[in-house]
Amino acid sequence: MQRSDLAPVILQLKALGIANVLRFHFLSAPPAQNMVRALDDNGNLTSPLGLRMAECPLTPSFAKMLLVSGEFGCSEEVVIVAAMSQIQNVFVTPTGQRHTADRMKKKFSVEEGDHVSLVNTYRAFIKYGSSKAWCHENLLNYKGLVRAGEIRHQLTRILQRFNIPILSCGEPCKILKDIFYEIAMN
């Protein structure tokens, strides 16, 4: 508990109306400076961003990235990254096929990084009709990609509820990597 990221817990406690999270009865109280980072100068959730982040079913960093993505003109790609990051093992490595699995994964990988690779993988899955056979041929987790599609739909509804525009920066490009970095740092 001492080394855990408490931002999600603090967001939830504040959203539940617990005013003084510094005095909350944790089993093992974390250092106060770790908790203060998630709040404004008055110890409250920021409005509207902090309050909206508490409503998102994501970690604070993904929630913030999602909620400010419209300002950067890449909310469609951010929704895909957030959804794809919620599933485990997008790529499948069957026993004895490590070399083949690595080769297949490289088909979707780009030098701009893993986030853009996840966007490429999801878009290819949709392009090929969300096909189970296509996933099998490309050593992709079909059930995971279907689940990512469901999560993507849920996250898109959240953006719509908060009137955040659904915008695409087009094909994943080098600028997208910079946008993800900029969103994460703000």
Q: Do 63 and 12 contact (CB within 8 A), yes or no? A: no
Please give the Cα distance from 54 to 17 (Å, whole number): 12
pTM for the model: 0.76
The one-letter amino acid code at 175 reads I
pLDDT in tens, 71-99: 888 899 999 999 999 998 899 998 898 99
CA–CA separation, 97 and 108 (whole Å): 18
pLDDT at 34 over 90: no
